[in-house]
Structure 1
């Protein structure tokens, strides 16, 4: 008769301990969850938003007779905007303008938009890189907290890892286990019960999306992403070593030289031309070379910035099976390096697919709509969790769930935190600190119970 409660007590204590951690971590991560969901949901539509608010720069009327030569378009841009040619982006569609990126005297870059049919300069904007506009640049920086430097990057990394553990603990708390919980519909219409049901229901339906978005966002992080990059490269499952070993290379990585490149290639060095002397190939000739090679429309062509440099054509369309990078010797016009998605290793391909899905690109509008609904659900779940806590908290107190009296539970969670730290170092570090605090509290409570005040 006594065996049932003996087994049930640790289970109940573990439930309370997980609930306590879920509660504390949830309050900490909640603002980050909302920030990531809102900014990520907006960024899904960056191309559409940029087109709506910059039509006079991006959209042109197609004309008979074909487009002007790239050298003519870049010359018109340089005549209107003093500086050094950085890259040329041919029109991606018949009704799209050409873009010419120019480096200013202060080292910054601007984009000059040119009508490809008439060579008329349509206007100039500050170069926001892959974001496409200053507004989307701000959204992207907020999404990654880059405004507060390396600390912001690590905050977001820790928050992403905690989001995964919050999903795991949330599913554990939701799981029925023979009790009258685990609802899959919102049953209560008012009060704290409504917010509890909303939190649980949106959480259980959005759990997979949260884990997916967190995991596919982590490759950009410093600690987790850096280690994953090194392991992927070392295993030859990203971009095998010696890919361009027969050619000279520079010390500048592709991630710095190009506005956008495949994740696994960001730290790889730019190639150099086979010589630093001779007559450089003309822009028109290089454009013919890359287009004859079958590169997908929408590519960017970076021009050499030094006598040793190369021309680099790169494209990352929504359909990532067409992404490609081509390096061309600036003197001979020889293609030195040409790789697409199929040339990457298993993890390199997986990362590209994950990033494309994460950004709502892989499957077009359907991808955007599904992720938009997931972002809305994440905000609703976070708001519901915050209101649920606000309504139940005692006056003047945080309302943290009580610590279980069984001191073995915090010890168990400490072991779990070490295991979690293997996969998510920053999460593991914060979990260890939290577990140590819990252990100290548990030991203090145990002493008080053993030696109650007289």
Structure 2
């Protein structure tokens, strides 16, 4: 009796996952890498922008050191005289000799997310500069321009697509690539002990070969993998579409800190005297143990109090804040950084690490080096693709094969991808597009029936 042909056995589970990830890593890397390359180049420039800003705007960011200072009230009044029709939004008192006092105004004449910063020499009380300012770090025009380049290439809303695609795919490519590299090294049965030495040693290869490019591509990615994932996650929280999903989750889980109470008593409800009350608020903040450079926020309502918070500067890893009744100097409430929800603390650390401000120039140089590593990874990835092309011309073919992936693995991957796709819709849409492209290529390669 003739026997029916036996169905080929599926590879082990790890090999099926490898085949699936190899296919997706190929298409993701090939088609999204240009966006990641742009994000790396503009991000490296932005990482160095705080130091560049300090040099370019040194005429307003540095003043002659003076042992004596005019009262803060007089400095604020001097700034107000330059813009008597504008409302003071923040006050950054000089913290040490050589630093100016910065008064920020709400200015309807500039962009909605910007404020006008007036710089005052605390030693003389003289106004020395007047510039637009952006973000809680007080970015000045040059750094703001670089920031906009990194965010959306100065293309407005359409430009945010590039940065969101880069952030949404970076973590996936890093994790998938690390797994693929670990599998390839493991199969070689190197004599080195432990997976990490094997991965860092790489595979034996000839100079100029595709394997040499793969070694450099994978080892570089493995060395900076943790940093890349951190940059990806923080970038996702700032993105337009995925950021809204993150905010929804944060709100539902109550992970965000409750705003500090600022309401004053009826006896303390008096008309706002910004210049007169600021000194009292500053004294209370120092008495409460707030150290380093501070930001003072005048109240926006008659029954509201001031807020004083520690400014994120190089070397600071926490920021405490208090609210103060401007009329009496009484502390209304205190909010220590250590008491904030874990997510709030992690997001603050992530933001100021990503922006290159937490540890100053050493961090900025590190981020620049990581950006250059990303550039090298992308270039090597395209070199691998080109080396894979047929010897008679043509383009490199996709890695992995769908035939090696069983339906249980495909369904499991879909189950995992659905919640990720809800959180990262650009990732989901582009992933579906890549699979459709791949399916169309496979159909076109099938032999035609005569």
* TM-score with structure 1 setting the length: 0.78
Number of the residue aligned with 2:332: 336
Equivalent residue for 1:59, pick from 43, 58, 62: 62
Residue 171 of structure 2 is aligned to residue 168 of structure 1:
no
1:136–1:210 distance in 2 versus 1, CA, 3 Å: same
Number of the residue aligned with 1:178: 187
1:26–1:406 distance in 2 versus 1, CA, 3 Å: same
Equivalent residue for 2:30, pick from 21, 27, 32: 27
Instruction: Verify the 8 A CA contact 1:300 1:313 in the aligned structure 2.
Output: yes
CA distance in 1, matches of 2:347, 2:353: 10
CA distance in 2, matches of 1:232, 1:320: 25
Equivalent residue for 2:398, pick from 381, 390, 401: 401
Give the length in aligned residue pairs.
421
Equivalent residue for 1:284, pick from 279, 286, 290: 279
Number of the residue aligned with 1:385: 381
Instruction: Verify the 8 A CA contact 1:115 1:122 in the aligned structure 2.
Output: yes
Equivalent residue for 1:219, pick from 225, 228, 237: 237
CA distance in 2, matches of 1:3, 1:362: 62
Equivalent residue for 1:75, pick from 77, 84, 87: 77
Number of the residue aligned with 1:374: 370
Structure 2: unaligned runs, 5 residues or longer: 191-198
CA distance in 1, matches of 2:85, 2:206: 64
Number of the residue aligned with 2:163: 156
Q: CA deviation at 1:272?
A: 5.2
1:188–1:213 distance in 2 versus 1, CA, 3 Å: farther
CA distance in 2, matches of 1:410, 1:33: 32
- Report Cα offsets for 1:322-347 as digits up to 9, x if no partner: 41233333445433332121120122
Number of the residue aligned with 1:266: none
Q: CA deviation at 1:411?
A: 8.1
1:54–1:134 distance in 2 versus 1, CA, 3 Å: same
SS of structure 1 residue aligned to 2:187: coil
Number of the residue aligned with 1:259: none
1:80–1:131 distance in 2 versus 1, CA, 3 Å: closer
CA distance in 2, matches of 1:12, 1:237: 39
CA distance in 2, matches of 1:114, 1:335: 28
Instruction: Verify the 8 A CA contact 2:39 2:166 in the aligned structure 1.
Output: no
CA distance in 1, matches of 2:212, 2:179: 20
- The CA RMSD over aligned residues, in Å, is 3.7
Instruction: Verify the 8 A CA contact 2:37 2:378 in the aligned structure 1.
Output: yes
CA distance in 1, matches of 2:289, 2:402: 68
Q: CA deviation at 1:380?
A: 1.0
1:13–1:313 distance in 2 versus 1, CA, 3 Å: closer
CA distance in 1, matches of 2:12, 2:312: 56
CA distance in 2, matches of 1:310, 1:146: 40
Instruction: Verify the 8 A CA contact 2:19 2:405 in the aligned structure 1.
Output: no
Structure 1: unaligned runs, 5 residues or longer: 248-270
* TM-score with structure 2 setting the length: 0.79
Instruction: Verify the 8 A CA contact 1:82 1:104 in the aligned structure 2.
Output: no
Instruction: Verify the 8 A CA contact 1:410 1:435 in the aligned structure 2.
Output: no
Number of the residue aligned with 2:128: 122
| 115-124 or 404-413: bigger deviation | 404-413
SS of structure 1 residue aligned to 2:104: strand
Residue 197 of structure 2 is aligned to residue 198 of structure 1:
no
1:9–1:348 distance in 2 versus 1, CA, 3 Å: closer
Equivalent residue for 1:40, pick from 43, 46, 55: 43
- Report Cα offsets for 1:81-137 as digits up to 9, x if no partner: 454233221113211111122334626632221110111221222223325221211
1:304–1:11 distance in 2 versus 1, CA, 3 Å: closer
- Report Cα offsets for 1:374-429 as digits up to 9, x if no partner: 22211111122223334554698553427736285588446414413413432234
Equivalent residue for 2:228, pick from 198, 210, 214: 210
Q: CA deviation at 1:179?
A: 3.7
1:272–1:226 distance in 2 versus 1, CA, 3 Å: farther
Number of the residue aligned with 1:257: none
Q: Which has the higher contact order (CA 8 A, sep 6+)?
A: 2
